[in-house]
Amino acid sequence: MTAYKQPVSVLVVIYTTELDVLLLERAAHPGFWQSVTGSRESNESMLATATREVGEETGLDVSQFRLDDWHKTNQYEIFTEWRHRYAPGITQNTEQVFGLLLPERQPVTISPVEHRQWRWAAWQEAAAACFSSSNREAILELPGRLANQKQVPQ
């Protein structure tokens, strides 16, 4: 029996206090830049999925930084070329958005199976580079989110 991916995933925007955003280029699609993404495995929580995916895709230890659930979900159609990963008839995915705030740019270690390269970019450039509209929209929210975080006592 084939183990299908769950149509439930995370998007984790990794950014700095200076609004630099980490982008990863998909290995199978040169020129497709994105933030960390990944599907939930088994019955793990979405927070656990976000933590695992950040570690797998960047080598960053989430516990050293600030990971926030943005309490935002997106639903989108799964690209036809990737539908074979899901059970027959599954065409939609639900994505939960998280943000990982770092004090400054960090070096990362990518998985060459998933990504070709990585780069840091200013938030406007990062948003423009993303192929995913939900990823682009999340990055465009960063200035407001960071301003709100600075107003809330920690």
77 marked as binding residue: no
132 marked as binding residue: yes
119 marked as binding residue: no
57 marked as binding residue: yes
134 marked as binding residue: no
> For 82-120, b where at least 16 C-beta lie within 10 A, e where not — what string?
ebeebeeeeeebebbbbbbbbeeebebebeeebbbebbb
18 marked as binding residue: no
Q: Where are the beta strands (DSSP E) in the chain?
A: 8-16, 20-26, 33-34, 36-39, 66-77, 92-102, 115-122
45 marked as binding residue: no
Mark the binding-site residues, compressed into ranges.
5, 26, 37, 53, 57, 114, 132
Mark the binding-site residues for Mg(2+), compressed into ranges.
53, 57, 114
Mark the binding-site residues for substrate, compressed into ranges.
5, 26, 37, 132
